[in-house]
């Protein structure tokens, strides 16, 4: 605070920076570098707001050995992408490392050139999806170090499919280094690419569903999937209350050319394109399953309606009360609602069919379809089902038992939230009914543990 009453902004008093969405303590990176037995001085800075650079003395230290030292102590996004050895570290008059002098040094990134057409294509995909300059990506570049995560991994898989490369999110997240990821593209066996999910259910389950639901659901050609845990939880909640996890999205229709016929045709294109939108849910003695109609057997009239209403609020209230239930042919519907002189298209969809990212794609493709154009190919939902069921639960449990060994369980945030409660179930599992923790804290905890947020929260 100056004598004049003005504030002079001096900057952060710590060395925390944000890079590719991750918060990084630069002093932690330097401390990890100092753990190498031959390092005398070390510093880390962010160069050009795009990559982390590690500086060290003396200059003759092997970069790979130093990288291994840091990688063993820090999450991958805190491992510098560039290593610069110096004969002497620049110092300020106070004897501290002069980071401004380091920032002023010209840095030439030691990036191994891409060797094959597949590597170059993969690098272009990473550059596009992660919004990273292509010149920063080499054969040994890590997907996670560039800011990748499980969500962007799915986007990479989708982008790869569009350019003719076959890859799974599991392979990408397990391998991470570009050259290794690119090599897996060649290892995909075309004979193992299924039209339907590789997570098959028993024949008697399909037979039971056909016997019990073929008439009420007008099932002809269909496939049965298991449900991932998160999706199953939403559907079970709806069994108890048909209004649960229901989302309504209203669009005002001002263009006279967009009539009932145009909306119906656009919905038909989406149903043919997205198998998840052709999905319904059934229960039998075998449990809860999802049933996906083939694109040729989907009837758009079962999911489309035209109604007159006294008001939009009245329609939305009635529509929500209708909700969804087991035995409905679809878990979405599109309704053209006319209220006096105003027309509105109302999407009603169950949360078991979408997340935030896919919903935006649905809307984008819906507007594309309204113009008479078929929407682009999107990854089928079965890829996620395959991914979830491919996880090694035994290895996962072993990892967490070792990671949490000796730690007493406690409620996260319970001391600041009087509504947070917990109970012990018969199998000694702690059930937390309320948690007051910021998304940043949860995300950082996942990064430190080297797992995704979904894996940390056991979704």
What Rg value do the Cα atoms of the chain yield, rounded? Answer: 27
In this structure, of 181-190, 222-231, 236-245, 354-363, the range with the lowest mean pLDDT score is: 181-190
| 229 DSSP assignment | H
Asked if residue 110 lies in contact with residue 82, where contact means CB atoms within 8 angstroms, the answer is: yes
Asked if residue 118 lies in contact with residue 177, where contact means CB atoms within 8 angstroms, the answer is: no
| 370 DSSP assignment | H
Q: What is the pLDDT of residues 280-299, one digit of tens each?
A: 999 999 999 999 988 888 89
Residue 215 has pLDDT above 60, yes or no: yes
What span, in angstroms and rounded, lies between the C-alpha atoms of 183 and 204? 39
Question: What pLDDT score does 239 carry?
Answer: 92
Instruction: Please tell me the pTM assigned to this model.
Output: 0.55
Q: What is the pLDDT of residues 165-209, one digit of tens each?
A: 888 887 888 788 898 899 888 544 444 444 444 677 888 999 999
Q: What is the mean pLDDT of the segment spanning 263-291?
A: 92
Question: What pLDDT score does 422 carry?
Answer: 46
Q: What is the pLDDT of residues 159-171, one digit of tens each?
A: 888 888 888 887 8
Question: What pLDDT score does 425 carry?
Answer: 47
Please give the structure tokens belonging to residue 128. Answer: 């596009």
Q: What is the pLDDT of residues 319-331, one digit of tens each?
A: 999 999 998 999 9
Question: What pLDDT score does 109 carry?
Answer: 58
> Edge to edge, what strands does the sheet with 342-350 contain?
246-253, 342-350, 332-339, 304-308
Burial class (CB within 10 angstroms; exposed 0-12, middle 13-18, buried 19+) of 199:
middle
Using DSSP's 3-state secondary structure scheme, residue 187 falls into: helix
Contacts of residue 376, defined as CB under 8 A and 6 or more positions apart, other chains included, come to 162, 365, 368
What is the set of domains in the chain, with CATH numbers? 16-104 (3.30.300.30), 117-192 (1.10.1200.10), 203-386 (3.30.559.10), 392-457 (no CATH)
| 207 DSSP assignment | H
DSSP, residue by residue, 257-319:
T--HHHHHHHHHHHHHH-SGGGEEEEEETTEEEEEEE-TTT--GGGSEEEEE-S-HHHHHHHH
What span, in angstroms and rounded, lies between the C-alpha atoms of 155 and 84? 33
> What phi and psi values does residue 7 have, to the nearest 5 degrees?
-95, 135
Please state, as a whole number, how many other Cβ atoms lie within 10 Å of the Cβ of residue 218: 12
Helices (H), 131-259: 150-162, 169-175, 178-187, 203-213, 229-240
Q: What is the pLDDT of residues 30-60, one digit of tens each?
A: 999 999 999 999 999 887 776 788 999 998 8
What span, in angstroms and rounded, lies between the C-alpha atoms of 155 and 318? 37
Of 305, 285, 288, residue with least CA distance to 352:
288
Please state, as a whole number, how many other Cβ atoms lie within 10 Å of the Cβ of residue 365: 20
């Amino acid at each position: 605070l100056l004598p004049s009453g003005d504030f002079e902004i001096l900057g952060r008093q710590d060395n925390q920076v944000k890079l590719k969405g991750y918060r990084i303590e630069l002093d932690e990176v330097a401390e990890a570098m100092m753990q190498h037995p031959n390092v005398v001085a070390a510093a880390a800075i962010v160069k050009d707001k795009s990559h982390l650079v590690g500086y060290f003395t003396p200059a003759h230290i092997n970069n790979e050995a130093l990288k291994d030292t840091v990688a063993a102590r820090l999450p991958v996004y805190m491992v510098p992408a560039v290593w610069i050895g110096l004969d002497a570290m620049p110092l300020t008059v106070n004897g501290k490392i002069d980071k401004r002098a380091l920032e002023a040094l010209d840095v030439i990134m030691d990036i191994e050139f891409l060797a094959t057409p597949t590597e170059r294509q993969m690098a272009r995909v990473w550059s596009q999806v992660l919004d990273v300059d292509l010149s920063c990506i080499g054969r040994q570049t890590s997907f996670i170090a560039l800011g990748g995560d499980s969500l962007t991994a799915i986007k990479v898989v989708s982008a790869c499919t569009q350019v003719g490369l076959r890859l799974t999110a599991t392979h990408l997240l397990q391998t991470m280094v570009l050259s290794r990821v690119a090599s897996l593209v060649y290892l995909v066996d075309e004979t193992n690419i299924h039209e339907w999910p590789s997570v098959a259910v028993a024949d008697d389950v399909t037979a039971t569903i056909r016997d019990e639901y073929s008439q009420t659901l007008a099932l002809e050609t269909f496939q049965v999937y298991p449900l991932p845990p998160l999706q199953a939880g939403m559907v079970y909640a709806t069994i108890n209350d048909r209004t649960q996890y229901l989302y309504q999205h209203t669009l005002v229709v001002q263009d006279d050319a967009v009539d009932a016929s145009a909306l119906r045709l656009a919905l038909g294109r989406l149903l043919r394109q997205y198998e998840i939108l052709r999905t319904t849910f059934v229960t039998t003695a075998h449990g809860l399953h999802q049933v996906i109609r083939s694109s040729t057997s989907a009837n758009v009239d079962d999911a489309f309606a035209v109604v007159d209403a006294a008001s939009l609020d009245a329609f939305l209230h009635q529509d929500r009360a209708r909700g969804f239930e087991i035995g409905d042919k679809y878990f979405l519907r599109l309704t053209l609602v006319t209220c006096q002189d105003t027309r509105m298209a109302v999407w009603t969809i169950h949360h078991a069919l979408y997340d935030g990212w896919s919903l935006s794609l649905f809307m984008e493709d819906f507007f594309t379809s309204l113009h008479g154009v078929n929407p682009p190919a999107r990854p089928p939902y079965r890829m996620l089902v395959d991914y979830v069921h491919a996880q090694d639960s035994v290895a996962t449990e072993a990892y967490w038992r070792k990671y949490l060994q000796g730690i007493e369980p406690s409620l996260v945030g319970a001391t600041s939230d009087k509504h947070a409660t917990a109970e012990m179930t018969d199998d000694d599992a702690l059930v937390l009914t309320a948690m007051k923790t910021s998304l940043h804290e949860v995300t950082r905890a996942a990064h430190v543990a080297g797992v995704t947020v979904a894996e940390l929260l056991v979704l």
